[in-house]
Amino acid sequence: MQHPIVSREDWLAARKALFEKERAMTHQLDALRAERRQLPWVRVEKPYVFDGPDGDVTLGDLFGDRSQLAVYHFMLTPGSDHICPGCSFTVDHADAARRHFEQADLAFAAVSRAPVRRIEAVKERMGWTFPWVSSDDRDFNYDFGVSFRPEDRAAGRALYNYGLTTIRNAPDMFGLSVFAKDEEGNIYHTYSTYHRGTELLMGALNWLDLVPKGRNENGTMSWVKLHDEY
C-alpha cells in the first residue's frame, strides 16, 4: 500500500472533504430505506410448507409470535456436498443479529432445498442455531427466484436478480425475502433482494470497507471460506 504521508492539518482537510460526501450519502441512503419500506405488498396465497427437524412447518409458523420474517435463501442443493462459502459468510452474522432484531418484531429463518438431515449436519458443523428448513422440491424456492428447473435453464428462462442474469448451470442461487403478517394471519411478501443486494447482511464487509486494504479481494470475496476452514 502506498499512500501520501502528510501533516495532521492536511489529513484533517482531506478527511473533512470526504466526511461531507459521507454525510450526503447517508442522507441518500435514509431516503432509499424509507422508499423501500413503502413498497407495495403482495398477499401470499399459496400454503407453503417446509420440512423441519420436528416435522412440517408452514411459512406462518416461521414467524413465531412476530409480525415480520426475513428468509435467507441458502444455496444448499440436494445431492451436492458443496456448502456455499458466501451463504455461510452471510448467515454467520445471523445468530448475533437475531439477539437484537427479534426484539424489534423480526423473525429469521433460512430455507434450502437440501433435505433436513443435510441441513442439520451443516448447522451442527458450523455452530448455527437459527431456524433452517427444507423446501425440498416444492414451489417456494422457484416462486421466489432462487431455484431453477433443468428445462428452464436449458431454454434460457431461468432468470435471476430481476432478469439481470440468466442462469445456465446452477440449480440454486441465493437471496433474501421479507414477509409480513397481519392480525388476521394473512401473509404478505414485501421485499426480495439478490446478488450484491445481500451485502446488506454482511456486517464484516462494513468493517473491512473502513480500513486501507478494504475487502482485500482478488475477485469478489476471493478469500472467504467456511469459518472452520481458515
The H-or-E segment that residue 28 falls in is helix 8-37
Return the number of other C-beta atoms located less than 10 Å from residue 148's C-beta: 23
The 10s digit of each residue's pLDDT in 118-172 is: 999 999 999 999 999 999 999 999 999 999 999 999 999 999 999 999 999 999 9
Q: Are 174 and 75 in contact (CB under 8 A)?
A: yes
Distances (CA, A) of 131 to 54, 211, 222: 11, 34, 28
- The pLDDT value recorded for residue 177 is 98
**Per-residue pLDDT tens for 169-220?**
999 999 999 999 999 999 999 999 999 999 999 999 999 999 999 999 998 9
* C-alpha cell read off for 200: 446488506
Beta carbons of 75 and 141 less than 8 angstroms apart: no
The pLDDT-based confidence of 70 (bands split at 50, 70, 90) is very high
Mean pLDDT value of segment 78-95: 97
User: What pLDDT, on the 0 to 100 scale, is given for residue 1?
Assistant: 72
